[in-house]
Amino acid sequence: MMIVTKKEPLTCLIVILTVNNDVLLSPSNPKLGYQNNLKVLYSQKNTPGSTRKTGRYIASVSDRILDAPDIRNDYYLNLIDWSSLNFLAVALDKAVYLWNYDSREIIQLMQMEHPDDYISSVSWIKEGNYLAIGTSNAEVQLWDIQQKKRLRNMISHSSRVSSLSWNNYILSSGSRTGHIHHHDVRVAEHHVATLAGHTQEVCGLKWAPDGRYIASGGNDNLVNIWPNTQGDNGRLCPVQTFTQHQGAVKAVAWSPWQPNVLATGGGTSDRHIRIWNVCSGTCLNNVDAQSQVCAILWSTNYKELVSGHGFAQNQLVLWKYPTMSKVTELKGHTARVLSLTMSPDGSTVASAAADETLRLWRCFELDPSRKKEKENNTKSSIIHQGIR
C-alpha cells in the first residue's frame, strides 16, 4: 500500500509506506518547520526478477528505494556510510540525515548554517557511536550520535574535505588541495600528520582493516599507499605509488581476507578496475568496466566485489574474485551511481545516485546454513580474543 504525502512541514508522526507489515516512519518528534527529505518511496520483499548464475539467489531489483532530494551530483564526494550500529548516514546538500535500519526512523542530525556551504563527506567510527563529517568550508566535525551533539570542530585544511577514513582514534581526511591530514581525536592539538603525495583532490581514502596502510586515490590519477608510521627522516612517504589509471581514482577498497590486496577503480577516461598487491607493487588483475567506476566494495560473505558505475547503464556490477568474471548486473538507477556502502552484516549494499535516490540491494545474503556457520565462527573468534 502506497501513501503519497506532500512535502510539507511535518508536525506529527506520519506513516509513509507499509508493505508486508513493514512500516517505515518519519521522525516522531519533529521540530516546527521540519521537512522530511529522506522518504521511502518503494519497498519490496519478494522480488520477481533474479539470477542464479552463481548457484544462489540474487535479486535483480532493489529491495528498497529511498528518496534523496538535493544529493550533490559530484563524483569527488563521499556522501553515504553505514555504521556498525545499523544507521545509514546520508548527506543531502547542507544537511546530514540518519536512517535507523532497524526501526526505520529518520532524523536530521545537523545542517550547515551558511547558505553556500554543504556536506562533502561522512564516515562512521568502527564502533558506530561517532560520525565524522567533512564540509565544503574545510571543517572536519565530530558528532556523538547518542546525544545528537557536535563534540568538536577540527580545522586544519584550506579547502573542502571530500574523503574521510578512521583507524581507531586517528581520523584521516583528504581535501581538494591534495593533502591528507591525520587527526588524533583524543587531544586538543588534533592535527598530528600531513601526507603530501597528490597534486589534486583526494577523493578516495581508506585505511586497511589491520591499520598498517592507508590508500589514497586522487583526481591526479594516482593511487598512493602510505604506512601508518613515519620513516627514518621523520616524514610520511608512500611505500607505493600506482600510476596506471588514466582517470581520477575515487573507488578504493581493501580486501577483507587478504590484508595486502587493494582494489581501485578509475573515472570516465580510465574505466578500469585494478587489483593490487601493495607489498610487491604488482597489479594482480585488471578489467575494463566499460564505464566510470564510482565505488567498489568487497563482500565479506562471498569472494566477490561490487562496483558502482556511471554512463551509460548507471548500474552495479558483481565480480567474482580473483578471476574478475562478471556475476551479474543490478540496474535501476537512472543517473550515475555516486557512492556505495554496506550493511554491518554484509548482506545489503546501499547505493546513492545522481537520480536523487538511494537503493538497497540484498545481493550478498547468506543462505541459512552458511549464515549459521558464519555466526559460529564469529562467536569463536570473540572467545579467542577474550582469552588473549
pLDDT tens digits for 162-218?
A: 999 999 999 999 999 999 999 999 999 999 999 999 999 999 999 999 999 999 999
Mean pLDDT across 284-295: 97
Over residues 215-271, the pLDDT tens digits come to 999 999 999 999 997 655 557 899 999 999 999 999 999 999 999 999 999 999 999
Which are the contacts of 258, defined by CB distance < 8 A and separation ≥ 6? none
Mean pLDDT across 97-115: 97
Residue in the structure block whose three cell numbers are 535483480: 60
Higher-confidence residue of 72 and 377: namely 72
Residue 52 pLDDT greater than 80, yes or no: no
pLDDT band at 43 (very low <50, low <70, confident <90, very high): very low
| Residue 229, pLDDT score | 77
How far apart are alpha carbons 345 and 245 in whole angstroms?
32
Residue 116 pLDDT greater than 70, yes or no: yes
The residues facing 150 across adjacent strands are: 143
Residue 292 pLDDT greater than 80, yes or no: yes
| Residue 356, pLDDT score | 98
| Residue 5, pLDDT score | 34
pLDDT band at 6 (very low <50, low <70, confident <90, very high): very low
How far apart are alpha carbons 96 and 6 in whole angstroms?
21
| Residue 375, pLDDT score | 63
Task: Please report the DSSP string for 221-281 in residue order.
Answer: S-EEEEESS--TTS----SEEE---SS-EEEEEE-SS-TTEEEEEE-TTT-EEEEEETTTT
| Residue 26, pLDDT score | 38
| Residue 190, pLDDT score | 97
pLDDT band at 378 (very low <50, low <70, confident <90, very high): low
What letters, b where the CB count within 10 A reaches 16 and e where it falls short, cover 326-337? Answer: ebbebebbeebb
| Residue 374, pLDDT score | 63
pLDDT band at 380 (very low <50, low <70, confident <90, very high): very low
Over residues 7-40, the pLDDT tens digits come to 333 223 223 333 333 333 334 445 555 555 565 5
Residue 369 pLDDT greater than 60, yes or no: yes
pTM over cut 0.75 = yes
Mean pLDDT across 114-127: 97
Mean pLDDT across 325-345: 98
Cis omega (within 30 of 0) for bond into 208? no
Residues composing the chain:
388
Alpha-carbon radius of gyration of the chain = 20
Residue 59 pLDDT greater than 80, yes or no: yes
